[in-house]
Amino acid sequence: MSMSELAQHSSQIDIRNFDKCRCQRWLDIRPSSIFGTSFKCQCQSWLNIRPRSVFGAFAECQCQSLLDIRPSSIFGTFAKSRCQSWLDIRPSSMFGTSFKCPCQSWLNIRPSSIFGTFAECRCQSCLDIRPSSIFGTFAECRCHSWLDIRPSSICGTFTECRCQSWLGIRPTSIFGTFPNVDVIAGSTFAQLDIRDFCRMSMSELARHSPQLDIRDFCQIWISFLARHSSQLAIRDFCRMSMSELSRHSFQLDIRDFCRMSMSQLARQLSHIDIRDFSECWCHS
């Protein structure tokens, strides 16, 4: 719809100079939404901007599928957001000056998430930023699969985070100035949580995190695991899933298809408890 047509449907829409909005299917701009000078919004499928959403000067938003900006979401000067699939910005999410966020698949920014000046976020698959997650000035985050930043996670100035698989940042996790979290090259973050098909060896990962949590089809041997966990316990059926095994280890969570015989396991750790069917093997 043209902006003149949209203005006919809501007396509270504030359309500033040089605004441009294009949509091929469905566009809904709610009352009290304010668009700054030279704002540009393009959508090929579904666009919904909720009440009290404010877009600053030169803000740009492009979406190929579905874009939903919730109430009280604020975009600063030169803010840019691009999405190829699904983008949802929840209430009270703030984007600072020159913020840029490209997404190829699914991006969800939860309430009270704050992005500082020049913050940049790139995602190829799925990105979820939980409530109260704060990105400082020049913070950069790139993910090619699935990135989840938990509540109260704080990324400091010049923070950079890259992930090729699955990266979970737990609550109250804090990134200081100039930290670099790179799953491919190695991590320096103590509470790193990597899931689904990590390609690093356990010995490499264990050197960087005392609270390492690796799940789902990690292709490593139990012999490597035994070196890094004094509380390893394998009980009952050696063919049971690793999700069941995870109940017995405080610091270790390895699921599905760890390949090692019980005799090899017994040589690695004196605290192993093997019950019932101890002669069977764990195969991938």
> Contact at 8 Å (CB) between 184 and 205?
no
Looking at residue 37, its pLDDT comes to 67
The total number of residues shown for the chain amounts to: 284
Specify the DSSP class assigned to residue 62: E
Buried-exposed string 139-178: b where 16+ CB fall within 10 A, e elsewhere: bbbbbbbbbbbbbbbbbbebbbbbbbbbbbbbeebebeee
Spell out the domain ranges in the chain.
3-192, 202-282
Q: How far apart are the C-alpha atoms of 21 and 3, rounded to whole Å?
A: 7
CA distances in angstroms from 235 to 110, 172, 202, 243, 275, listed in the order given: 40, 33, 22, 12, 5
Looking at residue 282, its pLDDT comes to 31
CA distances in angstroms from 265 to 164, 221, 273, listed in the order given: 31, 10, 10
Specify burial of residue 272 (Cβ count, 10 A radius: 0-12, 13-18, 19+).
Answer: middle
**Which tokens belong to 203?**
């010995």
Topology of the domain covering 3-192: UDP N-Acetylglucosamine Acyltransferase; domain 1 (2.160.10)
**Which tokens belong to 58?**
């030169």
Looking at residue 35, its pLDDT comes to 72
Looking at residue 127, its pLDDT comes to 67
- Hey, how many other C-beta atoms are within 10 angstroms of the C-beta on 227? 14
Q: How confident is the prediction along the chain (284 residues), in pLDDT tens digits per residue?
A: 454 554 445 444 555 444 567 776 677 776 677 776 667 777 777 777 766 777 766 677 777 677 777 666 767 666 677 776 666 766 667 666 666 666 666 666 666 666 666 666 666 666 666 666 666 566 666 665 556 665 556 565 555 666 655 556 555 555 544 344 444 333 333 333 333 223 334 444 444 444 344 332 233 334 443 444 433 333 322 333 344 434 433 333 333 224 444 454 444 444 444 432 233 333 32
What is this structure's pTM?
Answer: 0.41
